[in-house]
Amino acid sequence: MKIAAARESSPLESRVALTPDSVKKFVALGIQVSIESGAGLGSGIADDAYTAAGATVAASAAEAFANADIVVCVDTPAEDVLAHIPQGSILIGMLNPLDKLTDFSALNARSIHAYAMEFLPRISRAQSMDVLSSQSNLAGYRAVIEAVAATSKTIPMMMTAAGTIPPAKVLVLGVGVAGLQAIATAKRLGAVVSAFDVRAATKEQAESLGAKFIEVPAADNAETSGGYAKEMDDDYKRRQEEALAAVIKTQDIVITTALIPGKPAPELITKAMVASMKAGSVIVDLAAAAGGNCKLTKRDDAIQTENGVVLLGYTNLSSRAASDASPLYARNLFTFISTLMFDKTTKTLKILSDDELIKGTLVTKGGKTVHPALVA
């Protein structure tokens, strides 16, 4: 059995799907590993580290993929890279399956069996494979770091002979994995933190980290069975807008993380709210890839509004912490593959096709798109 990886196609992607640690684990199982030269440089991993771990370092993606049973990636490879993946083999990565721009025709043309890790069912035994959690955690941390770098305001309270500097005020919208880490990071830096989420169950989590929770009572349960937020009715949205408008104008930093799977990101910050904010305030929109939680967000761009508010719309904040994001992601993939796709007795590929984790992540098979969420 052979596993391979290449350099990521996107110039914005610094992560890599294999690390020396995961290579050692695969090799210990009797699995061959091949990786394209330079694939780990964005994560601070030199080719020599892969060689020392037992991998073969290839001069090109084509060489790395030759005779591979499984190809692992962070993002879907570009078509010229996909062309080198062996016909009928397996591709595993974050394939962005719910994005309306995602096209699986190139994968289907090569009968590649593709597994999108974003579709992994959120059950207890899948926690060690959950790439969304491992990467969102770092995105939440990095969002605070980017905001701090963009603001001229100091974060903790400082008492000096010339006077006292009040602490920065930080508002986090969306209390999922990324939001919770943003709260924790901002608190560690000394900020006064507030948080909002439509899911009432998140109040206790936010408050446990020291945030003040902004409540907007909802008549119905605002949480899906998968733990995500539901889209709310117009009356709730009106009351939510009023509550946020009253708070946001006092904030130095706002970090938004609200997403609804398969739908555009909910608009939480209006133009009027941005206009009410102080010059020098910073908004970091982690939902930029899905359209943004702020009306003014520009995807993968940093802008300054007419009233001096800085708005950051970076779509890949986890990649800005690649030295730690890559090892976590690689461990997620190792657990997924070694648990669900490998026979330790025969040391060969053996997919547990009836397992709900396999069924839940399989998006293309035998030249067809097969996932229920993608088939009309």
Bridge partners, 255 (sequence order) = 172, 284
Q: 210 and 185 in contact (C-beta within 8 Å)?
A: no
* DSSP 8-state secondary structure symbol assigned to residue 265: P
- Measured N-to-C along each axis, helices 131-150 and 322-340 cross at an angle, to the nearest 10 degrees, of 170
Given 127, 208, 323, 353, the catalytic residue: 127
Does residue 125 carry a catalytic annotation?
no
Q: Are strands 282-285 and 253-256 parallel, antiparallel or unpaired?
A: parallel
Given 111, 228, 236, 355, the catalytic residue: 228
Given 69, 75, 130, 252, the catalytic residue: 130
Bridge partners, 94 (sequence order) = 75
CA dist 252 and 152 (Å) reads: 10
Does residue 122 carry a catalytic annotation?
yes
Given 47, 122, 236, 276, the catalytic residue: 122
Does residue 34 carry a catalytic annotation?
no
Count other C-beta atoms under 10 Å from residue 12's C-beta: 12
DSSP 32-86: EEEEETTTTGGGT--HHHHHHHTPEEESSHHHHHTT-SEEEEEEPPPHHHHTTSP
Sequence-distant contacts of 194-199: CB under 8 A, at least 24 apart: 194/169, 194/170, 194/247, 194/251, 195/171, 196/171, 196/172, 196/240, 196/243, 196/244, 196/247, 197/173, 197/229, 197/258, 198/222, 198/229, 198/230, 198/232, 198/236, 198/240, 199/175, 199/223, 199/229
Bridge partners, 32 (sequence order) = 2
Does residue 60 carry a catalytic annotation?
no
The secondary element (H helix, E strand) that includes residue 157 is none
Does residue 130 carry a catalytic annotation?
yes
- Measured N-to-C along each axis, helices 322-340 and 20-28 cross at an angle, to the nearest 10 degrees, of 20
* DSSP 8-state secondary structure symbol assigned to residue 158: E
Of 89, 97, 96, residue with least CA distance to 375: 97
The radius of gyration of the chain's CA atoms, rounded to the nearest angstrom, is: 22
**Catalytic residue positions, numbered:** 122, 127, 130, 133, 228
